[in-house]
Amino acid sequence: MRRNSLFELTFTVAVALGLALCVQAYALKPYRIPSGSMEPTLQVGQRVLVNRVGHRLGADPGVGDVVVFHPPADANAGQCGDRHSGGATKRPCARPGAGVDSETFIKRVVAVGGDTLAIRNGRVIRNGRLADEPFIQACPGGSGCDFPEPIRIPKGYVFLMGDNRGSSDDSRFWGPIPVSRVIGKAFASYWPPSQLGGV
């Protein structure tokens, strides 16, 4: 009798562990926020859950979604729209960066395929209208804050920016990314407990 109980407990734990691993691999995945690029929305060290199912089932990310994705391989090189160009660049990076990095980033979708986009004072001008972005941290000035010449986002791509507009390497500098590189949408914060809630 005691032996059967031990076997049943071991079997139950093994099944529960297997289910948890499957859920993490295919449905939900936790991510830790590594930098201040999404402040004030997400703080360094905060942990969020990402829904991978919706994207796997064909749901494209929409404007306003906070997503985890694979950036271009040269994302840190600032290939175009370069903040180090002395302010000479007048428009954000319109072409997608080459290659795919294995690292994951988390940013907000600010434009989707077919949209036109320009940036003034760190604020998005989408399809000729100033976007309502009460969640952003103001851009303090500099070459990353103003790209007044509009670009068009290619179909099947998304343009991503951090909420901390003055301190985020994002699509302004390495271009839009294909929707296929989006892993999923962040929908809840679970750590620290004081930040428990939706994203």
Tell me how far CA of residue 188 lies from CA of 90, 140, 151, 168, in angstroms.
Answer: 36, 29, 32, 22
The confidence score (pLDDT) of residue 20 equals: 44
CATH of the domain at 178: 2.10.109.10
Q: Is residue 22 part of a domain?
A: no
Burial of 36 (0-12, 13-18, 19+ CB in 10 A): middle
Q: Is residue 15 part of a domain?
A: no
Q: Is residue 152 part of a domain?
A: yes
Q: Is residue 63 part of a domain?
A: yes
The confidence score (pLDDT) of residue 85 equals: 45
Structure-block tokens of residue 18: 């297997």
Strand 123-126 and strand 129-130: the pairing is: antiparallel
Predicted confidence pLDDT, tens digits, the chain (199 residues): 566 666 565 545 444 444 444 444 455 789 999 999 999 999 999 999 998 776 555 678 999 999 999 998 877 665 565 444 444 558 888 888 778 888 899 999 999 999 999 999 999 999 999 999 999 998 887 667 889 999 999 999 999 999 999 899 899 989 999 999 999 999 999 988 888 888 8
Q: Which of 5, 35, 37, 143 is catalytic?
A: 37
Q: Domain limits at 179?
A: 28-198
Q: Is residue 21 part of a domain?
A: no
Number of domains in the chain: 1
Catalytic site residue 37? yes
Give the ranges where the chain is alpha helix by DSSP (H).
Answer: 2-26, 53-56, 171-174
Neighbours of 84 (CB within 10 A): 10
Give the H or E element holding residue 178: strand 177-178
The confidence score (pLDDT) of residue 176 equals: 94
Q: Is residue 85 part of a domain?
A: yes
Q: Is residue 101 part of a domain?
A: yes
Neighbours of 169 (CB within 10 A): 19
Q: Is residue 2 part of a domain?
A: no
The confidence score (pLDDT) of residue 88 equals: 54
